[in-house]
Copies of this chain bind each other. A is one copy, B any other.
Amino acid sequence: MSKKPLILVTNDDGITAPGIRALIAIMTTIGDVVVVAPDSPQSAMGHAITINATLHIEKVIIDNGNQEEYSCSGTPADCVKIGVKQILNRPPDLCVSGINHGSNSSINVIYSGTMSAAIEAGIKGIPAIGFSLCDYNWNANFEHCKSYIKTITENVLKHGLTEGTVLNVNFPNLTKNNIKGIKICRQAQANWDEEFDKRQNPYGKDYYWLTGKFVNLDQHKEDTDEWALENGYVSVVPVQFDLTAHHSIQELNTWDFDKK
């Protein structure tokens, strides 16, 4: 039996995306790799799962690596569920998701299919990391991410992660020589100021495209992921999925709920 770690690889851009191909290539140097990834792009799917439709999986060969690969008709979270429970014979030692074509820093973690896959693995007690590059281009260059991904992954395999947490790793869009290193951060407080681009279809009916601009409410805060990325660092944010705002429980207990 192999002593190598078993690594489940997934993403949200789809199994043929250059980002996941780069991630697979790195992971095959570290462990035994099984890929279960969406058969089509699933960006901005958040933590959606498929409960009202059927799921299909297909064993596929996409490149010459020694990984085993399955494409799945579901969301990133579905891929992790079906990978762990249906495809793998034992729980993986690690789940990695990405490399996403585009940033998943700060509030974007909430909307991110890449991170939902990592969080799904975390819920199952599997150490997990989501990797994203701040470049939405399909032909983005992932070269400068490789040694960092390897270092971070090896650290996670060596140390494990605090129970109830996974890692959200984002790379600035820089060449390797311009990256200053890795920075452990908190998620910047930020939101999107949406604009809806209103148009009319050929039949006179209105429709909308969701657009908007990113608003960083934590400008110049050096402990945030946004600051790290703007200043040439790889950002690493520990992410939890206990969403309880423990600090506000005491306040809520002072409310008067008896006036019914």
Contact = CB atoms under 8 A, between A and B. Distances in A.
A64 interface: no
A257 B239 CA distance: 19
A43 interface: yes
Nearest to A237: B244
Contacts of A259: 151
B255 A245 contact: no
Nearest to A199: B54
Contacts of A43: 51-52
Contact of A124 (B46, B185, B191): B191
Nearest to A243: B239
Interface in A27-57: 41, 43-52, 54-57
Q: Is the interface of A mostly helix, strand, loop or mixed?
A: mixed
A3 interface: no
B245 A194 contact: no
Interface of A: 41, 43-52, 54-57, 77-78, 81-82, 84-86, 107, 109-111, 116, 119, 123-124, 147-148, 150-152, 155, 159, 161-162, 164-165, 181-182, 184-187, 189, 191, 194-196, 198-199, 205-210, 236-249, 251-253, 255-260
Given A44-B49, A186-B249, A240-B245, 8 more contacts: A44-B48, A46-B48, A51-B210, A56-B205, A107-B241, A110-B243, A148-B260, A155-B256
30 contacts: A43-B51, A44-B49, A45-B48, A46-B48, A48-B111, A49-B111, A49-B210, A55-B208, A55-B209, A56-B205, A57-B206, A81-B194, A82-B194, A82-B210, A86-B198, A107-B123, A110-B119, A110-B123, A110-B243, A155-B256, A155-B257, A162-B245, A165-B245, A181-B257, A182-B257, A186-B242, A187-B243, A237-B244, A238-B249, A238-B252
